[in-house]
Amino acid sequence: MKKEKIINLILLILIPLIGGAFARYYRTNGMVSLLLIYAAPSVYISIKNPKHVAKTTLFSFFIGIPLIIIFDFISHYTNTWEIYNTIFGFRLFNYVTIENMLWAFFHLYYTIFFYEHFIDKPEKNKIKILPRMKYILSIILGLFITFIGLYFFSQKTLFIHYFYMFLGIIVIVIPTTIFLVKYPKFINKFTLVTAYFFFFSILVEYVGLKNNIWNFPGNEFIGWVQLFGGKFPFEELFFWMMLFSGAILSFYEFFDDDRK
């Protein structure tokens, strides 16, 4: 790794750490914590790679926002997780906060930018949106329309027992496994990203639980993890902290990149 990238990696470790320490010390709300931990390193890495901003923004918005609305609603509805407060004074569909929508956007955005900056080939054209995107956008549109219909006409159908487990298996484990079996060369490419975002996600979880931004009130989980005086489901550790970054990159490479 070149010296400049080593310096950037050190900075991208320090920036969220400092932001997290500030958020924890001042017990900031969800929005301020999001800006300190997610937005700050995202802005820094965007400045380093401005040509990637437009394409990554579109991918993160059109993939992340509709899906988090669906998943966040079902998660609250089933007591899988709960976001306690929002500075905006309203929630979409009674449950979904603007903060969590921004979290979804920034998590996808930052993961992809980190991957492009440190791992992927810099000479590739990252401006063009590939035609394959229409397939995943069609699937997401279909899911969102189905969600709207069930929300208004059959809301009880959206109560899915052990939702986090099924969500992780269907949306994260199965697609990522299929992608890596078909394209095994990406296993090594995803390793650094996965390691970084494991550290990053632990920091986010610590601040979120300690600042009482969110919690997991239900009991339909595989098990529980105790860490730094906090308690969260095993699914949170396994699906989000360990596997989610690889899932994001699998979808990104398959639908919106060159798979090289």
pLDDT in tens, 104-149: 999 999 999 999 989 876 545 555 666 888 899 999 999 999 999 9
Residue pLDDT, tens place only, 202-239: 999 999 999 999 999 999 999 999 988 889 999 999 99
Task: Report helix, strand or coil for 144.
Answer: helix
CB contact set of 218 (below 8 Å; sequence gap of 6+) = 78, 79, 80, 81
Residue 123 vs residue 194, higher pLDDT: 194
Helix and strand numbers, DSSP H then E, in the chain:
11, 4
Question: Taking the CB of residue 65, how many other CB atoms lie within 10 A of it?
Answer: 16
Measured torsion, CA atoms of residues 100, 228, 169, 250, in degrees rounded to the nearest 10: 70
The per-residue pLDDT for 30 is: 95
Q: How far apart are CA 173 and CA 176, in angstroms?
A: 5
Q: What is the mean pLDDT of the chain?
A: 93
Percent of the chain with pLDDT over 70: 96
Residue 126 vs residue 7, higher pLDDT: 7
pTM: 0.93
The per-residue pLDDT for 124 is: 52
The per-residue pLDDT for 127 is: 57
Predicted confidence band of residue 34 (pLDDT cuts 50, 70, 90): very high
Residue 168 predicted with pLDDT over 70: yes
The per-residue pLDDT for 110 is: 97
Contact 118, 1 (CB under 8 A): yes
Predicted confidence band of residue 1 (pLDDT cuts 50, 70, 90): low
The per-residue pLDDT for 132 is: 83
Residue 54 vs residue 244, higher pLDDT: 244
The per-residue pLDDT for 128 is: 64
Q: How far apart are CA 45 and CA 8, in angstroms?
A: 8
Predicted confidence band of residue 65 (pLDDT cuts 50, 70, 90): very high
Q: Across residues 31-53, what is the average pLDDT?
A: 93
Residue pLDDT, tens place only, 16-29: 999 999 999 999 99
Predicted confidence band of residue 260 (pLDDT cuts 50, 70, 90): confident
Predicted confidence band of residue 5 (pLDDT cuts 50, 70, 90): confident
